Amino acid sequence: MLLRYFYDAELSQASYLVGCPATGDALIVDPARDITPYLQVAAQENLRIRHVAETHIHADFVSGGRELAARTGASLYLSQMGDANWQYGYAQEPNVILVRGGDRWMVGNLRLEVMHTPGHTPEHIALIVTDTRRADQPVGIFTGDFLFVGDVGRPDLLEGLTGDTVNSKEVGARHQFQSIQRIKQLPDYLQVWPGHGAGSACGKALGAVPSTTLGYEKLFNPAFQFNDEDQFVAWLLADQPEIPRYFAQMKKVNKAGPALLATLPTPTRVTRRSLEEQIAAGDLVIDLRPAADYRRAYLPGTINIPETGRNFSTYVGWFVDYNRPLYLILPDAAEVGKVLGSLQAIGVDQVAGFAGPDVITAGSESMPIISTEEVAARQPANGLVIVDVRGQNEYREQHIAGARNIPLGFLPQSLDQLPHDDTIILHCSSGYRSQIAASLLRAKGFDNVMGLHDSKEQWSELLETVAGV
């Protein structure tokens, strides 16, 4: 048996190649949309990708399963365990094989067994692997978004995003508890290969190491320490991070079947005048240049999401309208292919045009910032509103006294809560999110906006803060 691990740091997403060198057959589990790495590794290892499997309908990235199956001719294994709302829309394609709990198939000498693990989503499955040439007992399990290192998948992605009934998150939490009770019956030595690592919004406390064992999780994963279902449900639903708005779109795309990359339009290079016209028409223009460059000079009406951020694409997903064209200002126009790949990974397929930094000409507007010392000197003061754009859990842990908490992703829906006459100071823990927020408010007509770009360590030392509320 051969196992290879692939990790997308931008999305904290893991996928796997498991192969049988004796027969040359290989399976890809939960592939990303860019299938090039799988094709390259399979070629290097003299393997043929004849099988592709999805553990569930993903919410945080566009699946590459359909793309990979179309390119290689592989069979694509999809869960049939969900109800009518959780069935794949492309299940009738000729290379698709629907599976249910208890089903098995072979990848060369490797046996895959389906385990139904609802909770994160109703149709979720895990895949138990046995290397039949070496043993008659399984070696590991691909757990998708059911079980992570130190955590389990959140059950609340359905409610409020996909039109499911109210309280579906509690139903999902109870299913998650029952799924944990079932997996507890498997042997401790079993290796666990999860679908995400630290930083993913699919859980609240994912570990940073790539894999674990079931025995270790039984001992130290908080989810395994509950014997009472009600207590488990209360724990699982508490303190979950904000759900990125684009997750709802990913559910729709992955359920219906992602478009093949060859069918996507190619964006064209545009001028500053063209960008100004698109802004006037209501289209979104995102400036991906570094924050310092944007502050020095920017095109009014744009939002600055620096491409230097590790997960910049997820922030784009918070604000993009999937039904309208998107335009980009790049720090280097030659990098357009790389940027498109990151955006297509979350289904942003409608990039209509792009420009390089040359469209930011002399005389363009600049954006002011403020230091912690300056804020401290003005405190307390009328006419100064501090907005903390971090997540609710971060805010509860510690925040500047008197600051309002509006998480960045919810800022567009909260504009009516902010004054136009007062000076608005936006801050986070490093300056990255507050820069995005400041540019967003200015694009929405708020003129008296400044970003606080000092770190949490700096503002927590000089400004009065509140902790543990």
In tens, the pLDDT along 275-306 reads 999 999 999 999 999 999 999 999 999 999 99
What CATH number is given for 2-256 in this structure? 3.60.15.10
pLDDT of residue 245: 84
Percent of the chain with pLDDT over 90: 80
Query: How do 25-29 and 13-20 pair as beta strands?
Result: antiparallel
Place of tokens 């230091």: 371
C-alpha–C-alpha distance, residues 263 and 246, integer Å:
22
| The two domains 264-359 and 369-467 share their CATH topology (first three levels equal) | yes
Q: What is the DSSP string of 389-418?
A: -S-HHHHHHEEETT-EE--GGGGGGGGGGS
The CA-CA-CA angle for residues 327, 328, 334, to 5°, reads: 130
Structure confidence at residue 29 (pLDDT): 98
d(CA 6, CA 18): 11
Kindly report, residue by residue over 5-31, the tens digit of the pLDDT: 999 988 999 999 999 999 999 999 999
Is residue 12 classed as helix, strand or coil in its secondary structure? coil
- Average pLDDT value over all residues in the chain: 93
- In the prediction, which pLDDT does 177 show? 98
In the predicted structure, residue 161 carries a pLDDT above the cut 80: no
User: Which CATH homologous superfamily contains domain 369-467?
Assistant: Rhodanese-like domain (3.40.250.10)
When pLDDT is averaged across residues 37-52 and rounded to a whole number, the result is 98
Least confident span in 112-116, 181-185, 211-215, 460-464: 460-464
Of 268, 379, 347, 410, give the one whose Cα is nearest residue 64.
347
Q: Which CATH class is domain 264-359?
A: alpha beta
> What's the predicted TM-score (pTM) here?
0.92
pLDDT at 203: 66
> Coil, helix or strand for 248?
helix
Q: By mean pLDDT, which of 160-169, 331-340, 368-377, 445-454 is the weakest?
A: 160-169
What backbone phi and psi angles, to 5 degrees, belong to 387? Answer: -115, 120
Q: Rounded distance, CA 152 to CA 233, Å?
A: 12
| Residues 300-341 pLDDT 10s | 999 999 998 778 999 999 999 999 999 999 999 999 999 999
Residue-wise pLDDT tens digits, 395-435: 999 999 889 999 999 999 999 999 999 999 999 998 999 99
User: Residue 365 — very low, low, confident or very high, per pLDDT cuts 50/70/90?
Assistant: confident
What was the pLDDT predicted at 160? 52
Q: Where are the domains of the chain?
A: 2-256, 264-359, 369-467
pLDDT tens for each residue of 108-145 = 999 999 999 999 999 999 999 999 999 999 999 999 99
